[in-house]
Each structure stands twice: as structure tokens, then as C-alpha cells.
Amino acid sequence: MGKYIYWIFVVVFFSLLANEAYKYFYPNDNIRAKRIECQEESITFERIYSPSLIKEAINALESGNVKTKYKMVPSVYTTSQMGKYFTIEDVNNDLLKILAKHKKQNKLNTQPLLIDYYVYENDVDDPGKKTEEAKKYAGYIRMNFYIGDSHVYANQIDFMDWQGKDIKDRLECAINSLRTLENEYDKPSK
């Protein structure tokens, strides 16, 4: 009996140790964000890929040295509603206006920040949707931020209005989420 208790203790100990090691080496792996107020309004996920490049990404944002790449992903099983109310060009124009508000300087001495994003329409008739909760949101915006070939940051944020009336607020939230990381990740990556 004592041997079994000993082995159970050893297994539990090493499991806890492995879990703590994982959390130490991958502190931002698949986090559901609630860092800033706007993230409380809808489900937001974010991930920092290159902490050492956060400051450079923000400098590019503030200098206006930003490029966008974008697409819209309409629903497959449900008749798409997005095109009736807005186009991806409308969304990108809103993003460009938001980016212009964050511009503080005219220096282009940084590498450009690429914001590669898509607007995904929730496909409520998808047979893979198992819960009613998964059918409540209208869609989400997935934004990936790059400096050169390096993936710096990703943000995925739901929008709730089927006509896209809250998309502009969600875009603003994603940009603010990146900006608030400046002080948190102003250190070299592991």
C-alpha cells in the first residue's frame, strides 16, 4: 500500500511541476483577454508571439507606417448577410480612420507594421456548432500584426450586430489592445 501512495505522490508532483513549467515558458498561450475595458464588451482572445517587437510595432503604428491586408469570410451553410450591410472595403476604411487617430509622428524610420486581418461571419447553421451560445455572435475579426516576417501579436474579437454596427468599436478595441502592451512587453523575448 505504501508503494502505491508513493507512486501517486510522485506522479502528482511531476504533473504539477510540468504544468508550472509550461505556464512559465508559454505565459500568453491562448489567453482570453480581459485586460482593458473594451474587452469586457465581447469575447476577445489575444496572443503575443514576439514580445521584443511590441514596441517596434507600436512605433510603426504611431508613425503611420502601417499596411493592411484583408478579406471577408462569409458563412457557408447560412445565407450570408454581411454583404447587404457592409463591404470589406467599408471595414478597411474604418480601420484606416482609426489608425490615423493613433498617428503621432511622421517618421518612417521603422519597418512597416502589417495588419493582416479577416472578418468572419458566424455560420449559425454549421452542423459543427453544438451550443446555442456559439450562435449568439454575428462574427469575429481576426487580426494578425507583423513586423517584417515576424508575427508579433494576434487579436480575435467578436462582434454582435448582424449589420456590423459594432465592428468599428471592435477594431478600435483591437488597436488599443496592442497599444496597451507597450509597457508590459518592453523586454526581450525568451
Output DSSP code: residue 35. S
CB within 8 Å of 148: residues ≥ 6 apart: 111
Distances (CA, A) of 180 to 12, 35, 49, 119, 153: 38, 9, 15, 23, 12
- Look at residue 124 and give its three-state secondary structure: coil
The mean pLDDT of 176-188, rounded to a whole number, is: 74
Examine the domain organization and report whether 26 and 42 are in the same domain. Answer: no
Q: Is 190 within a domain? A: no
CB within 8 Å of 50: residues ≥ 6 apart: 147, 150, 151, 152, 153, 189
Examine the domain organization and report whether 145 and 178 are in the same domain. Answer: yes
- pLDDT at position 85, please? 93
* Residues 55-112 pLDDT 10s: 999 999 999 999 999 999 999 998 998 889 999 999 999 999 999 998 887 766 678 9
Q: Containing domain of residue 24, as a range? A: 1-30
* Residues 123-144 pLDDT 10s: 988 888 778 887 889 999 999 9
Alpha carbons 34 and 64: distance in angstroms, whole number:
27
* Residues 159-170 pLDDT 10s: 999 999 999 999
Q: Is 81 within a domain? A: yes
Q: What is the pTM of this model?
A: 0.77
Alpha carbons 119 and 139: distance in angstroms, whole number:
7
